[in-house]
Structure 1
Amino acid sequence: MRHFTSVNQERAASEGRHYRVPPRGAAEAGPASGDLTQDRLFQWIAADYSSLSRQLQAIARYLEQNRGQMMLARINDVAAACDVHPSAVVRFAKRFGLSGFAALKAMFKEQFRIQGQSDANSSGITPASLRPASRVVAASRASLLDLDMRFDEDGFQNAVGLLSRAERVYLLGLDGSLPVASYLASALQRTARQVVLVTELGGVHRNLMRSASSQDTIVAISRAPYGSDTEICVLEAHRRGACVVALVDSRLSPLASLAAASLVVRETKAFPFAITSTLCVCEALVAALASVTLADGSAFDKPRPADMVIS
């Protein structure tokens, strides 16, 4: 088996850049090696996630979900949050070509410097000085800006294609995702396909997936802490050949590996149950699907309640 550093060197060479291998025992200082950026790091993590140990997977999930806090994090805090020894955090950094935790932290600091301050900070307004409603608006605005900056256009177009070709669309309103799934159900019933809103009412949601086929598309919305019902339903539908469109909070989500199209949407952590960015992506999906539907000569104006099933 090739050493992981060799794989990194090959990747770097294919991208036309020089990859510096930190010498053994090098001090934890300076920025990340070569041109390694935050986005590239998480792409590598997603690609190699299944091969990581349980401890390194826990660290990977923590980094993915706490990007904004990493520039101020201490190694002991990260280790405690992941229930690992601090040496595991250093081992994680070196696993991905960095000299240690300081280099990992420096990379997040550099990313923050490049992105600049949020609109609130730029105007001299601090979160503490805002009214509660204004804090929510400011946090939601920041979440939408992050969504716009990291938007996956290829994944989005893939999702639109899967929805437009589906004979039936199952919308999983499970594990706290019912508000978003309900919006999609209301909007998508205007299209020329059957829409099935799957809820936990009656406890038949798992059995309902047995009717899914290769002609259908499943839309699943999931974020940490991940619920089991959504994953079980997706597994059953995937086993029956249905395509899965997943809206997840991380590339490391259990659903990401099962999805034919996955879109990463990170909500603000300023307050619980935020769905602003997730709804924005859903609105964009509906708008894009409307364009495809109208181009096909189908109607996209009046609701089709007869074609909507709520379970």
Structure 2
Amino acid sequence: MNTKLKPATPQTLEELKSDIINRYDSMSKRLRLVADFFVQNPNTVALENLVVIAREIDVSPSTLVRFANFFGFAGFSELQQLYRSQLKGQVSGYRERVRHASEMTGAIKEGHHLLDAFSGPQSLAIENLSIDISPADFDKALGLMSSARIIYVTGARRAFPVAYYLCYALMRADVDVILLDGVGAMHKNQLKRLTENDLLLAVSYHPHADETNECIQIAHERHCPSLVLTDHSIHPCKEVITHGLQVKEAEMMGMRSLSTSMHLAQCLVMGLLCRQEDQENG
């Protein structure tokens, strides 16, 4: 008698994304194509029909049904309903997000209570960073940084503050660094002198900015290694990224924090300085 329990069917998109990450290695090549598309294009999955989505991914419609069954859904329609429900709940601005969270959960949004409500989840996320990132992965990241002639740093939109801080901290550490700020849409020109002896350090959050993806692709074409700080293990450029560190940020009232990313940025710079000092003393 087989007593093995079936995994529970995801009830939210966050649960589905977590399941996709955890079970990604056990999927067939075609199911991985579907997984990549679903993670990167949730709105398309919510709004288009089965045939159109299958055509976009270049798989058969039956593959989408198998993908839905793989995660415990009765069929594609049931899986798509999860995306449609999420889409209905989406709100654009921060003001609308706070109002929406308050209406949905009754979240406290007054005065000093916010300090406690926000600091708790963020503190926990920072504490878990040393668990989420293994010593080997962190050491590999430091190795890439320490061997680079010049570190090119890039990050767009929400990721830009982390990229800017990394550039500032590396400058203060006397490391040769260039911030790819993309002013005037000149990020390609800023990469003209990129070589295989340099490093592209990218900060990239879902949904990953096209400008950042383009920088990663250019680095790959120039045989330049890339180190990517990201909030998701399934990245559109995952096939060409040299190494990645995954950051899990806390989310409160529809807003995702940057505290864990900033903490990681500081640790990377301090770790690089410690490694350089050890090399000089050795």
User: 1:91-141, CA deviations, whole angstroms, 9 ceiling, x for partnerless residues?
Assistant: 33654xx7x249xxxxxxxxxxxxxxxxxxxxxxx9945812222212212
User: 1:50-72, CA deviations, whole angstroms, 9 ceiling, x for partnerless residues?
Assistant: 6337644445569xx9xxxxxxx
Pick aligned residue for 2:21 from 42, 52, 55: 42
Q: Distance in 1 between matches of 2:155 and 2:167?
A: 10
Cα drift, residue 209 of structure 1:
1.5
CA RMSD of aligned residues (A): 3.7
Q: Distance in 1 between matches of 2:184 and 2:271?
A: 33
Normalising by structure 2, we get a TM-score of 0.67
Q: Distance in 1 between matches of 2:260 and 2:66?
A: 34
User: 1:244-287, CA deviations, whole angstroms, 9 ceiling, x for partnerless residues?
Assistant: 00011111112333221101112123242521111111111112
- Tell me, yes or no, if the aligned pair for 2:30 and 2:63 is still in contact at 8 Å: no
Aligned residue type for 2:67: F
Cα drift, residue 192 of structure 1:
5.1
Q: Call closer, same or farther: CA 1:203–1:266 in 2, change over 3 Å.
A: same
Secondary structure at the residue paired with 1:255?
coil
Alignment map for 1:81-96 (pairs within 5 Å): 91-92=66-67, 94-95=69-70
Q: Does 1:52 align with 2:24?
A: no
The residue aligned with 2:87 is none
- Tell me, yes or no, if the aligned pair for 2:153 and 2:179 is still in contact at 8 Å: yes
Q: Distance in 2 between matches of 1:292 and 1:179?
A: 25
User: 1:162-183, CA deviations, whole angstroms, 9 ceiling, x for partnerless residues?
Assistant: 0000000001032332211121
The residue aligned with 1:291 is 274
Alignment map for 1:1-311 (pairs within 5 Å): 30-32=5-7, 42=21, 44-45=23-24, 48=27, 51-52=30-31, 55-59=34-38, 91-92=66-67, 94-95=69-70, 100-101=72-73, 128=107, 131-191=113-173, 193-270=175-252, 271-297=254-280
Cα drift, residue 84 of structure 1:
6.8
Secondary structure at the residue paired with 1:212?
coil
The residue aligned with 1:70 is none
Normalising by structure 1, we get a TM-score of 0.61
Cα drift, residue 142 of structure 1:
3.2
- Tell me, yes or no, if the aligned pair for 1:175 and 1:230 is still in contact at 8 Å: no
Query: How many residues get paired?
Result: 228
Aligned-pair identity in percent equals 23
Q: Distance in 1 between matches of 2:258 and 2:37?
A: 25
